[in-house]
Chains A and B, each alone.
Chain A
Amino acid sequence: MKAFNYERATSLAEAVAKVSHIKGAKFIAGGTNLVDLMKLQIETPTHLIDIADLGLDKIESSADGGLRIGALVRNSDLAANQHVRRDYAVLSRALLAGASGQLRNQATTAGNLLQRTRCPYFYDTNMPCNKREPNSGCSAIGGYSRLHAIVGVSNSCIATHPSDMAIAMRLLDATVETVRPNGSTRTIPIAELHRLPENTPQIEHTLEAGELITAVTLPKPVGGTHIYRKVRDRASYAFALISVAAIVQRDGTGRVAVGGVAHKPWRVEAAERDMPRGAKALTAGILANARTTHDNAFKVLLVERTIASVLNEAKA
C-alpha cells in the first residue's frame, strides 16, 4: 500500500472541502473495495477522509411516501430493514445475493454504488487496462472475456459494473443526494449516476471531484411482485454472470433491469412495454445492439431465459 494520511471528518462541509482541496484525497466509508484496491496499488490515495462519524447511517421515511437511505447504511442493515423487505423487496433480494455476510456488514450503500469493476485485467497490474491506466489498451477485448459486458461497450473497455444492489436501485428509480465541495446539494437520478465507458472508462460516474453522496432516496412503493434472480458460477458468494431484477404487476406489465451486462445498471424503459409479450420480445429490446465476444455471447440467451424464468415465477 502507498503511504497516505488519515483523518476522521467531523462535518460534511469539512469532508468535502478537504477531499476537493487535497490532491489525491479520497473518502473512505466501509473500505471493503477501497482498501483492497489500495493493497494492489490500483488506488493510491494520498489522504483518506473517513466519513464514519457524519451520521449518514439512518433509514427514514420521506415526505412523498418513499424512503431515504443514508449513504453509510450498511448493506446488511438495508437488506433487513422492515420497510425495504415489505415495499422494496427486490432491493433486499439484490443485497442478499451480493458478497458475503461479513462484507455486507461492512459495505455501505453509497460505497456499493461506487464500487469499481471486477474485470480481472483491471486487477492485474501487469496487463494493459484503459480504466486503470488511460490509453494503455484493453486486455479484455481479445482476452478472456466470459464475464464482460455485452451492451454499451466501447473499443476502450468492456468491463461490467459489479453491484447487485445498484441493479435494484435502478429498477426502483432511486435518486442520489449529494453535497458538492462548495456546500451546495443536488440530486442525481440513478440512471445518470453511472457512465458508459466510451473513450474514458476511467471516469465511471458523474460526480464532481470531492462531491459526496449523502443519501439514496426511493420513490413511494409501486407494488407488484419483486424478483431478483442472479446467475453465477457458485450458488453463493460470487459475482453475477448476469442478473435480472424485475417488478411485475398483476396485469403482466412491469419493469426490468439487468446486471452483469454493462458498465452500468442496464435498463431500457422503452423495451418494458413488451413485457406482456414475453421474454423474447422483452430481451430483444433490452439487449438491442448487443456487441458480444466469443466468450460472452452466451449472455444474450442467458438473459432471455432468466427473464422467462422470472416472468414465470411472477405469474405463479
Chain B
Amino acid sequence: MTTFDPSRRKFIQTTAASTGAVITAKLTTDAEAKSVLQPKQVTEPAKISILLRVNGSEHQLMVDPRMTLLDALRERLQLTGSKKGCDQGQCGACTVIVDGRRIVSCLTLAVMQEGHEITTIEGLGTPTNLHPMQAAFIKHDGYQCGFCTPGQICSAVAMLDEVKAGMPSHVTRDLNRSPEMTAIEFRERMSGNICRCGAYSNIQDAIAEVVGERV
C-alpha cells in the first residue's frame, strides 16, 4: 500500500484479498495435479460442495475440508462479525448459534455444519433494527474494544434460552428444579466468553436488562 489508510478494516480487507488470491491459485494448481484421492498421503484434499444455511440464507460453497466454520463465515461469506480470538475454543469470540445452541465456530469444520441453521451476530439484528441484547450492550457500555462483543452477544442470547429451557449449570443449587435467572447463574454460564478489557460487570448489566424485559 502506498498511501496510509487509517481504516483498520479496509487495511485488513485489502491484505486478506491479496493473500486469498494467492491461496486460491495454489489450490487450483494442486487440485488439478492431484485429482485422484490418495488417502495415505493427502496433500490437497478433494474440495467438497456444501450448502450452508446462515442467517436465513442458503450459500452453496466449495470448501477445503480443513476450513473451519469460522473461516467459512468470515472469509467466504464476508460475515466478519464473528471474531477469531484464540482459534482454540478458549475465548468465545467466535461464538455463533447453530440450531438454537451456542457453539464456538473455530472448533467445528464447515463441512460438518451442512444441514444446520447457523445464526451469527449479523443475523441477530441490524444497525437499524437491533436485537434487544445488542441494544442493551450499547446502553450499558458492555464492551471497550469490541472484539469479544459479537461472541458475547450471541452467547448471551443463547444462554438465556438455555436457562428458560431449564438446563442446569454448575451453580444451580437444586438439579431437580428449574434454574433461576440470577446474576450468579449468568456469570457461570458466560464463562466461555473472555473479555480482555474486563467489561464483565457491564455485560452482566446488559444481560440483566434483557431478562427484565423478557420476564
Contact = CB atoms under 8 A, between A and B. Distances in A.
Contacts of B175: 85-86, 89, 92-93
B210 interface: no
A102 B92 contact: yes
B119 to A, nearest CB: 14
A135 interface: no
Contact of A5 (B37, B88, B162, B188): B37
Nearest to B113: A52
A46 B162 contact: no
Interface string B172-203: 10011000000000011111110000000000
Nearest to A104: B192
Contact of B167 (A25, A47, A80): A80
A313 to B, nearest CB: 13
Contact of A100 (B64, B68, B87, B192): B192
Given A5-B39, A39-B88, A103 B192 contact: yes
Interface of B: 37, 39-46, 48, 64-66, 68, 87-89, 92, 95, 101-104, 107-109, 111-112, 155, 158-159, 162, 165-170, 172, 175-176, 187-193
B192 A1 contact: no
A35 B109 contact: yes
Chain B interface SS verdict (over half): loop
26 contacts: A3-B65, A5-B42, A5-B45, A6-B48, A6-B109, A6-B111, A24-B39, A38-B66, A39-B87, A39-B88, A46-B39, A47-B42, A50-B112, A79-B167, A80-B167, A93-B170, A101-B162, A101-B191, A102-B89, A102-B102, A102-B192, A103-B104, A105-B102, A106-B104, A106-B107, A237-B192
Chain A interface SS verdict (over half): mixed
Interface residues of A, number: 44
A192 interface: no
Contacts of B87: 39
Contacts, number: 128
Interface of A: 1-6, 22-25, 28, 30-32, 35-36, 38-39, 46-48, 50, 52, 76, 79-80, 85-86, 89, 92-93, 96-97, 99-103, 105-106, 234-237
Contacts of A23: 39-40
A32 B107 contact: yes
B65 A31 contact: no
Contact of B89 (A6, A50, A79, A103): A103
A142 to B, nearest CB: 27
A27 B60 CA distance: 25
